[in-house]
Structure 1
């Protein structure tokens, strides 16, 4: 599929996904998106889809494309969760801004590696490590207030959720590492 057609498909899927909250708003008061919510979601969803399209085109096998999909999904989930509820405390907690470093490490490392599988693998592992370091710093700095804006979430819940998110980055790293391995055919006994 050509690049323009791929991006058009990403735009169409983004539009279809945005119909879900738009339709839900007609039937329930629980979903109450503003115009800026739709703009934010459109930018994030289209940006993630376009990023996947560009990165996946640089690989030559299914493992590379799967690794790219998981890496982009990890970035999408990081941005979405951080904007929606916050990864540490509420979404208004300034410690959550530290997680931008994870995206910079992942994308910056992949760009520096020219998206070659081994270098991109290292970037994903570095992003996972950065994620854990940022979580440690944020948890050290974060002091839950217990009020409605900043509920007192159990420390273990926050820690486990963040370790799982870091694991998604590590999984992308493992898959990129696997994509770097040469493909060998079946061994013939002699």
Structure 2
């Protein structure tokens, strides 16, 4: 963290850092605890490893955002974007957005995340570049959802469209927050 970090961002960081890591540990422990009480949850070591890796990536991404954020809007935008990306990966791996997780149309949604990773690298997590990246992700999310509905006739289109709408709204909200952060900096 640099000395030019604004006091509001410092206060947010002091609260958010332990919440993110503690929340990740709690989420990882949740299925383990559930397995003690019900047979409905039956995770394997592979499931825990994959979920742990997803949580680790999310927490490390948030740590990177904490290092460049100068205003609370930047932190909130990062949290929203990382949370949405996590939800997209989790839904795709757990049940598949389109039919089963192995359905080829689900790869369309991976392209949205790839745009996010490339945009974040190019913009070096700076607010103005991240606003453009999240806007591009929102547009690609809509295109991916439309193509997925067209390709997969067996999946209820309403679910794919609703999930696409949810993710698109989150990407756009994060883009607005990044724009606000860029203006404030």
TM-score band w.r.t. shorter chain: 0.7 to 0.9
Distance in 2, matches of 1:55 and 1:176, equals 12
Q: Which residue of 2 aligns with 1:149?
A: none
Quickly say closer, same or farther: Cα 1:22–1:131, change in 2 above 3 A. Answer: same
Q: CA RMSD in A?
A: 2.1
The one of 19, 28, 31 aligned to 2:29: 19
**TM-score, with length taken from structure 2:** 0.85
Are 2:59 and 1:57 equivalent residues in the alignment? no
Unpaired stretches in structure 2, ≥5 consecutive residues: 2-15
1:17, distance to aligned residue in structure 2 (A): 2.2
Distance in 1, matches of 2:183 and 2:66, equals 17
83-92 vs 55-64, greater mean Cα deviation: 83-92
1:182, distance to aligned residue in structure 2 (A): 3.1
The size of the alignment, in residue pairs, is 171
Unpaired stretches in structure 1, ≥5 consecutive residues: 145-151, 184-190
Distance in 2, matches of 1:24 and 1:72, equals 25
1:181, distance to aligned residue in structure 2 (A): 0.9
Q: Which has the higher helix share?
A: 2
Q: Which residue of 2 aligns with 1:118?
A: 128
The one of 36, 51, 55 aligned to 1:41: 51
**Aligned-partner SS, 1:92:** coil
Is the contact made by 2:113 and 2:137 (CA closer than 8 Å) also made in structure 1?
Answer: yes
**TM-score, with length taken from structure 1:** 0.82
1:156, distance to aligned residue in structure 2 (A): 2.2
**Aligned-partner SS, 2:134:** helix
